[in-house]
Amino acid sequence: MSRSAEQKVKLLVLYDLLEKKTDEDHPMTTNDIVEELSKLGITATRQTLYDDIEVLNSFGYDIICEHGRNNHYYVADRTFERPEVQILLHAVGAAKFLTEKKASALSEKIAELLNPQQAEELRFGVPDCVGKSNNERILYSIDVITSALLNKKQVSFLYYDVDVNGKKLYRKDKERYVVNPLGLVYSGEYFYLVCFHDKYGDPANYRIDKMEDVREEKKPITKKKEYENFDLNAYRKESFSMFSGEKVEVTLFFPRDLIYVAKERFGDIIPVSVDSGYIINTTVRVSKTFFAWLSTFEGQVKIIEPKSIRQQFKEFITGILAKIE
């Protein structure tokens, strides 16, 4: 490399080196940096290195110098801090909609936000997720759906289940679903497409890892009055993990030590204090999934109103008991 070309890239290479290999716990000495730059064909001395780092800092980069007989340098200000990267790595590891291959590749990219030493430390502490998807096209499908949402176009796809032998069982005899996308929701370790069909009134949810050959259609999204101001967040709160079912306003009782469950499940609610706990009013989709969730509290959480829903819950429990006796 000519000297003029060397000087043009020197600052870029220097910062890239420090960003990738240093932090507060792993600084590089002046000699270390000079040696690494030399391997890349770039000449540096103690004085020129000091001057170059001063230039970088004057343009807003945050490179700390610990002065001594042999100065130590490290990048202090990073876009992502170690705890933030750790959260991202755990989220990728827990995401069942990703294949092992995709999760591994994405984790490698996320880990590059830190220096190699920190990245290696974090990888060691992130557990693998069991039951990963085998759909290698998941990221492509998400990209197509995102494009369709932005362009306000319909989406079509094949949808399948998987039997005990891993064989795909296509629904509707492998006929394509054509839907109007409303948004994407992440819930219970899976990604879902929330959408509506031209023929039906209620929204529908489809797991994206069970979709195949996802396409953005030329036809615009069908305009329906009930979906003009669709609130995806409100729908997520009332439907996931309650899934499909009739939307009903219910009054529930929670004992005092379980009110946090109500807040986690139903979000911004106003509980009414009573002698032995709290009463809340909220909207749910009444289904077996809702009843199964309710049963995990072993009768401590009760349906107060409507009485018809309370009776359905009793019949749900009675039906289970009848099958196991």
Q: Any idea where the domains of the chain sit in the sequence?
A: 3-75, 82-125, 138-238, 242-324
- Whether the CB-CB separation of 100 and 122 falls below 8 Å is answered with no
Residues in the chain where the model's pLDDT stays below 70: 1-8, 77-83, 90, 94, 96, 114-135, 164, 188, 238-244, 267-268, 325
pTM above 0.75, yes or no: no
pLDDT attached to residue 68 = 79
Share of the chain above pLDDT 90, in %: 21
Residue linked to tokens 């001594």:
68
CATH for 138-238 is 2.30.30
pLDDT attached to residue 152 = 94
Calpha distance 6→38 (Å, rounded): 11
Calpha distance 314→322 (Å, rounded): 12
pLDDT attached to residue 80 = 67
Is the CATH number of domain 3-75 3.40.50.2000?
no
Is the CATH number of domain 242-324 3.30.70.240?
yes
The CA-based angle 109-112-113, given to 5 degrees, is 105
Task: Name the phi and psi angles at 66, rounded to 5.
Answer: -95, 110
